[in-house]
Amino acid sequence: MLDLKPIRTEADYQLALSEIDRLFDAPLGTPECDHLDILATLVEAYEMKHDPIPLPTPDEALLFRLASRRSVVAAFIDRLKRQGMDEADYHTKSEMLTPTS
In tens, the pLDDT along 55-95 reads 999 888 888 887 787 777 777 777 777 877 666 655 555 55
SS3 state of residue 101: coil
| Dist. CA 72–CA 75, nearest whole Å | 5
- Amino acid letter, residue 11: A
pLDDT 10s digits, 32-61: 999 999 999 999 999 999 998 899 998 888
- 3-state secondary structure labels for all residues of 2-70: CCCCCCCCHHHHHHHHHHHHHHCCCCCCCHHHHHHHHHHHHHHHHHHHHCCCCCCCHHHHHHHHHHHCH
pTM for this model (two decimals): 0.55
Sign of CA dihedral 56, 60, 66, 70: negative
Domain borders along the chain are 10-50, 58-97
